[in-house]
Amino acid sequence: MRHLVPFLALLLSGMLAACTSEERKQEQMVNLEQVKDDPESQLRNLNAAIQMAKNDGSLYARRALVLLKDDKFEQALADTDEALRLTKDEPANLFLKAQVLRKMNRQQEALKLALRAERNSYQSSALYVLLGELYFQQKKYKQAAAYISKAQQLTPADEYVLYYKAKIQEATADTARAIQHYKAALNYAPQFMEPKRELAGILVAQKAYEPAKVYLRAAQKQAPKDAQVLYYKGLLYEAEQKADSAHIFYRSAIAANDTLQGPHYKTGLYLYAQGDFEGAVLHLNKAQKSFGRTKKYLVTLANSYEKAGRNIEALDAYQKLLQAEPTYTYAYQAIARLKYKLNSVQPESRPVQPQPVELIEN
């Protein structure tokens, strides 16, 4: 999934306001603000400025911000380290480094630095949103909500604040209010893709397919390779009983983001129905964290192992199924059959007839 980088412009303006008059003089000499939307020009100007004032930490921070926007994370990280060395851990630069680390998927380090910035009296809506997001990723929703509330006190009409507020509400089953806040985020920022995508996902789950299509079309137009968008597209095709088309989008979602578990689960079910049991096992195992306690997942995985001839793994899967569903009689029969096979010198070769996926309850 594409990660958001909220408030980078706000961070830049804050850093600009913090400059001394001498720094502003140096910046004016090299035209730092000449081409704001051209990273190459910005980098040339900043490189020249740093050559003129190598001990000016604010210049390294500015260059780090440009590099961060350009997805040059290692270089941005090196510049934030230099900025912090020269500015003696300036809180704004701690926050900037936290942003870089978060983009590098080093969330724990990012959280520690963001908290240090807060402890050093750095107050910023962007910082609070970052802290809210990092706690949200850890599923610590109470802490996440507290920081988003702090952000909302500073910027009540900001789309990122509203978006993360909705994310927390959705995760805590307050779907109605989540929908309200996603829509509010779109009112302030109609080109904001993520609320459209999340609204589509909620509406698909609610089987409100026609309004879901409206949001999904808009999201797909902006982010045609977004894994979550592709997954929701697959779910819509599946709802229309177009299994092959759905499968194409599930595989596309996996290609875009192999860690997304929903498409792996759906692909596993599809491959099982097609008789590709090894393929089903491969994808179902990648969906275990999110779906591993559901009856349909456990039954399909156990059947796939057994049909693939992987009897020890099938036995283990059926035993886990019984732990989750003690009244599921088919599992008792399967366990007895597998134990007989495993204990026999010459196992009986009677073919196994696993349950069709469509007959397995959720």
Q: Are 33 and 27 in contact (CB under 8 A)?
A: yes
Say how far apart CA 100 and CA 117 lie, in whole Å: 14
- The parent domain of residue 99 ranges over 1-122
pLDDT in tens, 17-59: 444 333 333 333 333 344 356 778 889 999 999 999 999 999 9
Place of tokens 């595989």: 251
Q: Is 187 inside any structural domain?
A: no
294-305 pLDDT tens trace = 999 999 999 999
CATH number at residue 339: 1.25.40.10
Q: What's residue 146's pLDDT?
A: 98
Instruction: Specify if 235 maps to a domain.
Output: no
Would you give the end-to-end CA distance of the chain in angstroms? 27
pTM assigned to the model:
0.81
The runs of H, that is alpha helices, within 192-310 are 193-205, 209-222, 227-239, 243-256, 261-273, 277-285, 288-291, 295-307
Nearest to 1 by CA among 159, 219, 174, 186: 219
For residue 347, CA distances in Å to 3, 77, 278, 311, 339 come to 53, 61, 21, 11, 10
Q: Say if 142 falls within a structural domain.
A: no
- Looking at the domain assignment, is residue 169 inside a domain? no
Last residue of a domain, one of 122, 157, 186: 122
Domain finish residue from 122, 138, 158: 122
The confidence score (pLDDT) of residue 22 equals 35
| pLDDT number for residue 37 | 61
How many helices (H) does the chain have, and how many strands (E)? Answer: 21, 0
Judge whether 105 lies within some domain. Answer: yes
Is residue 52 one of the residues assigned to a domain?
yes
pLDDT at 39: 78
- Predicted confidence at residue 265, as pLDDT, reads 98
User: Where among 69, 89, 122 does a domain terminate?
Assistant: 122
Q: Let me know: does 31 contact 59? Beta carbons within 8 Å.
A: no
pLDDT, tens digit, for every residue of 260-280? Answer: 999 999 999 999 999 999 999
- For each of the chain's 362 residues, which pLDDT tens digit applies? 444 544 454 444 444 444 433 333 333 333 334 435 677 888 999 999 999 999 999 999 999 999 999 999 999 999 999 999 999 989 999 999 999 999 999 999 999 999 999 999 999 999 999 999 999 999 999 999 999 999 999 999 999 999 999 999 999 999 999 999 999 999 999 999 999 999 999 999 999 999 999 999 999 999 999 999 999 999 999 999 999 999 999 999 999 999 999 999 999 999 999 999 999 999 999 999 999 999 999 999 999 999 999 999 999 999 999 999 999 999 999 999 999 989 884 544 555 555 655 545 54
What is the signed CA dihedral for 119, 120, 123, 126, rounded to 10 degrees? Answer: -80
Domain count across the chain:
2
* Token reading at 127: 């910082």
Looking at residue 346, its pLDDT comes to 52
Residue 325 lies in a domain: yes
- How many angstroms separate the CA atoms of 319 and 334, rounded? 10
